[in-house]
Chain A
Amino acid sequence: MIRRRTFTFRLYVADQTQNSVQAQANLTAFCREYLRDCHTIEVVDVLRQPQRALDDGIFMTPTLVVLAPAPIRRIVGTLSQPLTLLQTLKLETEAA
């Protein structure tokens, strides 16, 4: 990777539900490929911490919140299309 910026992610999941497991796997794979060594991922299980879901307004799981770099963005779903993530993070030109 060229950029040395740090990407901070928070992934809200619902325990071991199919969608959540997929999202976690997809995010890990994506980071390994595009954001090696420049990312942090916090995983919040809303079933264990429902108050956080309530406070943060997370109603669909899985939800990925991009905390940094600004602005804060939310991506809902299993993250099955890496292209969507790249576009969201404005990395599509670099990846190409």
Chain B
Amino acid sequence: MKLARPAPGERPGKALTGIAGFDDITAGGLPRGRTTLLLGGPGSGKTIFAAQFLVQGAQHSKEPGIFVAFEEAPARIVRNMSAFGWKLAQLQRKRLFFLDARPMPELIQSGSFDLSGMLAALALKARQMRARRIVFDALDIVLALLPDAASKRREVYRLHEWLLQHELTGLITAKNGGDEATSSGLQQFDFMQFMVDCAVILNHRVDQGVSQRNLRVQKYRGSSFSEDESPFVIGSNGFDVAIARTLGRKDAPISLERVTSGVARLDTMLGGGYYRGASILITGFPGTAKTTLSGAFAEAACKRGERTMFVSFDSDGSEVMRNLTSVGIQLSRFEKSGVLRMISARTITGSAETLLVRIKSLARAHQARCLVIDPVSTLSKAGNELTAHGVAERLIDWSKADGITLVCTSLLDEMSNHATGGTPLQISTIADTWLHLSYLVQAGERNRGMSIIKSRGTAHSNQVRELILSKSGVTLADIYTAGGEVLMGTLRWEKESAQRVADEVAQVASQLRRVNLDAEEAVLDVRVKSLQTKLMAKQVEKSLLDRTNDSRQRALSRGRTRLRELRGADIPAPVGK
């Protein structure tokens, strides 16, 4: 058998199962050319798992397969599996063969028997259709007919040898009670578990009325695998195994792009808005406007033309839209245009895992880039306490991987410890941005306060802001701190008014002072001018005086000389000696 081209994700030595998550857990699927044992209780999904494995082979991996049905009629299996959208009827022509190996009810048994006949027939069929994969569904049915443990064991060995010899990737399913039976020693196929190269156990239990399915790889020779129980759901496309982040997985590309929160001042507080692809958690007590904040985000996203999905657990989508209209958030037009998808998830019941899978498939169908889940704390309702944390983690992980900006709100119980501020889901630690909304009851008023508890990778304000909802929208206002007390609402308004009046008074006073000073300056100016005039007059007077003195002196000396001449004096005058 020559493979034209391996299917995407195909690894050497592994056969892809096409089961979301399982191929990740086992690093590529089931061991190629070897045998895998799939154990589980009734209704745990063994047949679906097996069928999906064959469908993947026939449809995508170019590996035709054979389904040996010991329990269910092939026609019924085909019909049941068509619900998952698998085209078994088409595949059956060439690439998929169902062998009806049910022991007939009228079958008479006398003594021991073996499966050589079936294996001979299968070997022929496998050669004819070049089968690479084979499933033995409900092997326990035929083993139960064998009289003793030794012959059971013999047939299992025979089957195992046959599979190895024909190099078929085999999957044997058998009923047991899941993990519980293993621990209590009731395991009837324990020797099979030792023999096969890979063993997978499906568990199905009900906690407080909520069905929880788990899958665990018990062993896998020659391969690394995730050893923990992984929750799974049987969704509309078959199996969907939830996987936690594995170490080897690549991170999603990180974006530096900011998206607006829908509230301008909040963007400023966050240094420009949320990061694209970030997960934002909004916590708060009932009525603290969590939905409104997330609605503002959704509206802003829709305005940018980004496909957005709003999952509401509390009320119907139309109700949410009507309520948001009262604060100026108009979503209905976006829903009409198809950009926004409102999901009323109030009626969806089931485990947290189921909800996550539903949300994921809906978001994929809508190609959502922004997602609002209001409130995410619904996941941890009765029966899901243990799994909800893991589900919430995977929700964030998934949205990051898909580059979806996720806003989820979380209800805080009024009774819960305010000091820790922790959410029941503990997702506050993994969310990128955590906004907390609270009430401040003061002077007969209840006002909303908003603060950023954390915002990774962004400089953000440490201030508590008052969140104000009005017809025109959502705004934030600075709060007043006075004497160690925080003021909001009317008190803040009063304080603001008082401040305004005080400002005005101060302004008038300063204007008045300036006018006075101007006047004084003018007076001084005038005085300076008159003094200058006086000074000039004095200076003129002084120079005049000097001149008069000089001329008098000159006149006097001239007069004396003249007198001497007149007197005929022979003695030279002593003057000028």
Contact = CB atoms under 8 A, between A and B. Distances in A.
Given A46-B117, A61-B117, A63-B117, A77 B124 contact: no
Interface string B75-106: 00000000000000000000000011101101
Contacts of A59: 99, 101, 115, 117-118, 121
Given A14-B120, A53-B117, A54-B125, A78 B111 contact: yes
Interface in A20-75: 20, 22-23, 26, 46-47, 50-51, 53-54, 57-63, 73-75
A77 B111 contact: yes
A76 B101 CA distance: 13
A78 B120 contact: no
The residue in B110, B113, B124, B125 that gathers the most chain A C-beta atoms within 10 A of its C-beta is B110
Interface string B140-183: 00100100000000000000000000000000000000000000
Task: State the majority secondary structure of interface residues on B.
Answer: mixed
Given A53-B121, A54-B121, A57-B100, A17 B110 contact: no
A19 B114 contact: yes
B112 interface: yes
Nearest to A49: B120
A12 B124 contact: no
Residue in A46, A50, A59 whose Cβ sees the most chain B Cβ within 10 Å: A59
A84 B108 contact: yes
Contacts of B142: 60
A81 interface: yes
B68 to A, nearest CB: 8
A88 interface: yes
Interface residues of B, number: 25
B507 interface: no
Contacts of A12: 117
A58 B113 contact: no
Chain A CB count within 10 A is highest, among B99, B112, B121, B124, for B121
A61 B117 CA distance: 5
Given A73-B108, A81-B111, A60 B118 contact: yes
A61 B109 CA distance: 11
B111 A17 contact: no
B121 A46 contact: yes
Nearest to B100: A57
A80 interface: yes
Given A46-B121, A54-B125, A17 B114 contact: yes
A26 B101 CA distance: 26
The 3 closest A-B pairs by CB, nearest first: A78-B111, A14-B116, A59-B118
13 contacts: A14-B117, A26-B111, A60-B113, A60-B114, A60-B118, A61-B113, A61-B114, A61-B117, A74-B108, A75-B108, A76-B103, A77-B112, A78-B111
Given A57-B100, A73-B108, A76-B109, 12 more contacts: A46-B120, A47-B120, A51-B121, A59-B99, A60-B115, A62-B113, A75-B109, A76-B107, A77-B113, A78-B110, A78-B111, A84-B109
